[in-house]
Homo-oligomer: A and B are copies of this chain.
Amino acid sequence: MAIGDRVLMGPGPANVYPEVVAALGRPMLGHLDPEFLAVLEETVDRLRAVFRTDNRLTFPLSGTGSAGMEAAFVNTLRPGDVAVVGVNGLFGQRMAEIAGRLGAEVVTVEAPWGEPLDPSAVESAHPEPAVIAVVHAETSTGVRNDVEAVAHAKGGALMIADVVTSLGGVEVELDDWGVDVAYSGTQKCLGVPPGLAPFTMSQRARERRVERPSSWYLDAGLIAGYVEAEGGRTYHHTAPVSMVFALHAGLGVLLEEGLEASWARHQACGELLQAGLESMGLELLAPKDHRLPQLTTVRVPDLPGGLGEADVRRMLLDRYRIEIGAGVGPLAGRVWRIGCMGHTARPANVTLLLAALADVLGR
């Protein structure tokens, strides 16, 4: 079968940095090999830099971003605990579902898909929640929620932030904001294949963590015994070595560019894309002041003769090898999701996408 390449402008995975592809091919090492442990240590240091945190308990979790989400709740929620969860898209819904399965009393604070959460509504939803959880960048809607405002007002609760699509693409300042637990995914603005969930937990959260959570695999206490040198490198599970090499390399690219420079690059690409879409007469879903640069939702316009929205995506793929994403949930069939993340976030890719879309739409 022929091997195709793509310009990946969907909601993720994005294209992967060339340095990351090279790192995937590094010779295999054992998960206790001194050379691998040195790479792991440096990866953790780099994650702290990217998360903007000093949290000791920081590591690449051995699953995708959704495993990171589950780990955040598994390690902080006991049955009967109150979890306040902001829901204005698919990933907020997922947070509520996961917390519910763990036996928590889930209080959701909703906003329409495409609108930001109201921080004061989240803050006042319950007098004494155990955790408050908000998605920073809602990949299903292209909306940025104000994690900082919620975190500043968290009170005695532990603050959980989903930074899957935001990390590396827009400003994330976990310690300054007062976020206790955060997780990300590798396949968005980090420019690494999907498969790992960067994860971090504050000392405050660590002290209050669940001692023997229902999930053994995601037990942060057991994982700490391996990822922290002072834990004696106690075997928990075999680290996904090649993917750690890949993440190590991707974080290296990002930090060499500089976090602020990466945010600016994503911002510039997002503005170019969004201006181009609007000048083509298309309408953006997310309001300007809460619009993500790295993930743009655009309403599906009236299409020429018999064309469906899926046909447009298929034509972009077939003619131009460009992937864009479909809408999900209540936005299915109503929007496209156009990502510009990680290695994909280059003006040339935006220019190509705009020209290709103009061609396909006949505009």
CA distance A219 to B3 in the complex (A): 31
Instruction: Return the CB mask of A63-93 against B: 1 if under 8 Å, else 0.
Output: 1111101100000000000000000000000
Contacts of A25 in B (CB 8 A): 21, 24-25
* A358 contacts the other chain (CB 8 A): no
Instruction: Return the CB mask of A300-330 against B: 1 if under 8 Å, else 0.
Output: 0000000000000000010000010100100
- Nearest-neighbour CB distance to chain B for A93, whole angstroms, equals 11
**Given A101-B214, A217-B70, do A30 and B63 touch, yes or no (CB 8 Å)?**
no
Flag if A238 contacts B70 (CB, 8 Å): no
Most B Cβ at <10 Å: residue of A14, A33, A101, A216: A216
Contacts of A230 in B (CB 8 A): none
CA distance A217 to B62 in the complex (A): 12
* A10 contacts the other chain (CB 8 A): yes
Partner of A242, one of B24, B62, B235: B24
Copies of this protein chain in the complex:
2
* A97 contacts the other chain (CB 8 A): yes
Contacts of A176 in B (CB 8 A): none
- Nearest-neighbour CB distance to chain B for A33, whole angstroms, equals 6
Flag if B195 contacts A62 (CB, 8 Å): yes
Contacts of A127 in B (CB 8 A): none
* A27 contacts the other chain (CB 8 A): yes
CA distance A334 to B358 in the complex (A): 70
Partner of A65, one of B6, B10, B238: B238
* A194 contacts the other chain (CB 8 A): yes
Contacts of A1 in B (CB 8 A): 35, 38
Contacts of A98 in B (CB 8 A): 216
* A114 contacts the other chain (CB 8 A): no
* A15 contacts the other chain (CB 8 A): yes
Flag if A31 contacts B216 (CB, 8 Å): no
Instruction: Return the CB mask of A101-122 against B: 1 if under 8 Å, else 0.
Output: 1100000000000000000000
Flag if A193 contacts B70 (CB, 8 Å): no
Closest chain B residue, CB of each to CB of A22: B25
Flag if B28 contacts A8 (CB, 8 Å): yes
Closest chain B residue, CB of each to CB of A243: B195
CA distance A102 to B213 in the complex (A): 9
* A29 contacts the other chain (CB 8 A): yes
Contacts of A30 in B (CB 8 A): 6, 8, 10, 13, 323, 325
Partner of A24, one of B4, B12, B24, B63: B24
Flag if B21 contacts A6 (CB, 8 Å): no
A–B complex contacts, Cβ < 8 Å, 16 sampled: A1-B38, A6-B29, A8-B29, A15-B28, A21-B25, A28-B193, A66-B216, A66-B217, A66-B238, A67-B217, A67-B237, A69-B217, A70-B216, A101-B215, A215-B215, A242-B242
Apart from the given pairs A4-B27, A66-B238, 17 other A-B contacts in the complex at a CB distance below 8 Å: A4-B29, A6-B33, A8-B28, A8-B30, A10-B30, A13-B29, A13-B241, A24-B24, A63-B63, A64-B237, A65-B237, A94-B216, A101-B214, A193-B242, A215-B215, A240-B243, A242-B243
